[in-house]
Amino acid sequence: MKQTTDIELSGLTGSSPIGALAAFGLLRLCAEIPSLRDAKLAWRREDDWVAVLEVSDVFGPDSLVGLLNEHLKQQSHQVFAWADDIRVQKSDYCQVLQQSLSDASSVNRRLCDYLAAFASEMAVDNTKGLVKPTAFYMTSGQQKFLSSALELTETFKKDQPEKIREALFGPWLYRDKQHALGWDPAAERVYALRHKKPGEEAPTSISGAVRLALEALPLYPVFPDKRGRLTTSGFVRINRENIFRWPLWRDPIRLDTLKSLVIANLENEDDFAQRGVTAVYSSIRSEFGQGYGIFRPAQLVWQQTWG
């Protein structure tokens, strides 16, 4: 029987959308690394909910960082290189979809999975004929989503163990001059709170966390509703607000379970209990300026009580 150990990821807190997404993306990455394929993810309640990775006892924090560093250096970036931005003409998107299907295999469907999460050829902007993007798309103007993602992933083509370590174990110091893609409420740059206009100030982020969060996108496929409006898995619409909602749990789970859990329709305490969920958080997707978006600080939707 294999012996396992828990690696507490003190940098990845469940009460933050970027922390949760980075933890989910981490588990997807582990599934791609043969020696980490059996990894499981759980959450432990301390001052905050902290991610815990269950792995073989031959691994520790240093070896985990090393394996992730090497894997990210070798990983294909094709998923972010097919265009500058997700919002392209329907015909162009269909062409990329067809090519991804032709190139896919039973062991490599990475591009297919990302395209299913980026947009749908069935949901198109009637004004310009562009495909509508995922709700995780929060860039605008000169900030192109795919270009920004590609720039970030290329950073990790070189050795970046310290950036990975900072993301996993903290503290988060926000020294990286890269965009958080709107996913980190703490990185928000609001005009009213700054001496400079947001466009004049270089963005900062925890690039390792954003890099891991990019790996979580395939967990959230998109689909058009009856009115042609694009819906992103994991989001709910309440009072005209688009809200990202994510679960936390105590018992370690593998990637297959995570895939079904994060897109489950969790509406009440019975749903939570049946799926082993111990807390649910949500974050409003807020837009400002010329279409820029940001996740607002998360709110606790529900948490299991212990007697």
Listed by start position, the domains of the chain span 4-76+145-303, 78-133
Q: Which residues contact 215 (CB under 8 A, 6 or more apart)?
A: 24, 25, 26, 28, 29
Q: What angle do CA 293, 298, 301 make, to 5 degrees?
A: 130
Summarised one tens digit per residue, pLDDT across range 35-67 is 999 999 999 999 999 999 999 999 999 999 999
Other C-beta atoms within 10 Å of 103: how many?
Answer: 13
Residue 200 burial by Cβ neighbours in a 10 Å radius (0-12, 13-18, 19+): exposed
**DSSP E strands, 14-171:** 40-45, 49-56, 119-124, 131-133
Q: Where are the beta strands (DSSP E) in the chain?
A: 4-13, 40-45, 49-56, 119-124, 131-133, 222-224, 230-232, 235-238, 241-249, 277-288, 292-295, 299-303
Q: What is the mean pLDDT of residues 21-29?
A: 99
d(C-alpha 61, C-alpha 96), whole Å: 38
pTM for the predicted model, two decimal places:
0.95
Please state, in angstroms and rounded to a whole number, the distance separating the CA atoms of residues 273 and 301. 14
Q: What is the pLDDT of residues 166-216, one digit of tens each?
A: 999 999 999 999 989 999 999 875 433 455 555 556 789 999 999 999 999
DSSP state of 184: -
